[in-house]
Amino acid sequence: MDLLARDEEILKTAEGWRRDGKGVALATVVETWGSAPRPVGSNLVIDEEGNFLGSVSGGCVEGAVVAEAIDVIEDGKPKMLEFGVADDTAWKVGLSCGGTIRVYVEKVD
């Protein structure tokens, strides 16, 4: 899937998955400190099977957000996730510049 999809595409995909009866979550970058791969407002839509469109970061962070989103779909409770690392380990988890990001994940009804 296109990781850098436009907002309209992401929302239309979420709407389509909901119309098809799938559980859906929306992850949004709500805060960044230092350097971050994606700006505040970036979105990732995830369905109950782990399919996704968009991007909130990249690397292992994206995988962690998808896993958390599946939990949010199941229990309906939103989560605030925070990812940050020291510069020497940043590349390993996808925060290439050593920044910190906060991502809000909510179920789409």
Full-model pTM: 0.84
The region, left, alpha or beta by phi > 0 then psi within -120 to 50, assigned to residue 80 is beta
Domains in the chain: boundaries: 7-108
Task: For the chain, give the longest Cα–Cα distance.
Answer: 44
State the CB neighbour count (10 A cutoff) for residue 42.
22
11-39 per-position pLDDT tens digit: 999 999 999 999 999 999 999 988 778 89
Separation CA 24–CA 65 (nearest Å): 13
Q: Indicate if the pLDDT at residue 55 is higher than 60.
A: yes
State residue 1's pLDDT score.
Answer: 42
